[in-house]
Amino acid sequence: MAEVTEQTIANLKRHATILRRHIIRMTHNVQSGHPGGSMSACDLVTALYFHLLRVDPQNPTWPDRDRFVLSKGHACPVWYAALAERGFFPVEELMTFRKINSRLQGHPEVGTTPGVENAAGAEGQGLSFSVGLALSARMDHKAWRVYCIMGDGEQDVGQTWEAAMAGAKFGLDNLTAFVDRNGIQQEGRTEDIMPLEPLAEKWRAFNWHVLSIDGHDFRQILAAIEEAQRTKGRPTVIIARTVKGKGVSFMENKIKYHGAATSDEELKLALAELEVPP
């Protein structure tokens, strides 16, 4: 990977702020959706879509593209925002999110939204789906890679661990998973609902290459992905410590904003905080 310059980091920060503004406006516009988990995953998604993924907005189904799978489907506002900003569809279309006759469904649908690779919403299926993709790439000796973002709430789901075992069994070094470790799920703190710790040790015990990073530090994100790409013989999981609602002070670490949009007043405050750098 090329050296990560200050300019690269500045650009990524700028893109991330733009995506966060979209997330706030999209969910405010329809007064529903899941802003908190979209904002915690935002820097991971930004690093992928604006630095790493080999995708072609003009040809969303290009066979040799990298595959991005969003297992935590409720965070699709950040995916849609990234796809729109990358030119997969017009940015104006973001305001149709969750509305009738829209291409931007409340949870991702394959075939309707250009660039969306997987349907998600029922939690815990994305990593298995990614295992299938990665197996196919390897069978066909293809260089494309699979990146899957899971939520930490999804670590409750049994199928996640079925997929973990399979990924290790098949030695899928073309698969990189992320856990968006924001510590909050729908009804509360993950450690109150169903304790996950020691999470890294769990993944290690499942024979994955495990990296723990600050999920809002672009240098750490890029370095971790680079290490995943270099790791042979097993898949990598990057446990990214994140903050739910990251970027808007009054939303950060608030359980409420898992599934609640901002009010009109909050919208103004949020957008004021999310000033796009020049």
Partner 1 sequence: MTLEPPWKMESQRGAFGKALVELGRRNPNVVVVGADTTESIKTVDFGKAFPDRLFQVGIAEPNMMSIAAGLAAAGKIAFAATYSVFGSGHTYNVIRQNVAYTKLNVKIFCSHAGLTVGPDGATHQLNEDIGLMRGLPGMTVLVPADAPETAKCVDVAAEIKGPVYCRFSRTDVPTVTRPEDPFIVGKARTMRDGSDLTLVGCGIMVAKCLEAAEVLAKESVHARVINLSTVKPLDVAILDKAARETGGIVTAEEHTVVHGIGSAVASAVAQNHPVPMAFVGVQDTFGESGEAEELLMKYGLTTEKIVEAARAVLKRRQ
CB of 217 to partner 1, least distance (A): 30
Q: Work out the angle between the directed axes of helices 6-30 and 218-230 (0-180°, nearest 10).
A: 100
133 binds partner 1 (CB under 8 A): yes
Tally: H helices and E strands in the chain: 10, 7
CB of 32 to partner 1, least distance (A): 20
Judged by CB under 8 A, the stretch of 81-89, 118-126, 186-194, 259-267 that binds partner 1 is 118-126
Report how far apart the first and last C-alpha atoms of the chain are (Å, whole number): 26
Residue written as tokens 């970027």?
A: 247
- Residues from 46 through 105 that contact partner 1 (CB under 8 A): 63, 67
Closer to partner 1 by CB, 79 or 129: give it.
129
Closer to partner 1 by CB, 49 or 144: give it.
144
Residues with Cβ within 8 Å of 90's Cβ and at least 6 positions away in sequence, in order, are 84
How many residues belong to the site for partner 1 (CB under 8 A)?
33
117 binds partner 1 (CB under 8 A): yes
Q: How distant is the alpha carbon of residue 236 from its chain centre?
A: 15
Closer to partner 1 by CB, 148 or 240: give it.
148
C-alpha atoms less than 13 angstroms from C-alpha of 207 in its C-beta half-sphere: 15
- Residues from 216 through 275 that contact partner 1 (CB under 8 A): none
Closer to partner 1 by CB, 27 or 105: give it.
105
Closer to partner 1 by CB, 130 or 190: give it.
130
Instruction: Give the residue from 181, 148, 180 showing the smallest Cα distance to 71.
Output: 148
What are φ and ψ of residue 175, in 5° steps?
Answer: -115, 125
Q: Which residues lie near partner 1 (CB under 8 A)?
A: 63, 67, 109-111, 117-122, 124-126, 128-137, 139-140, 158-159, 162-163, 165-166, 170
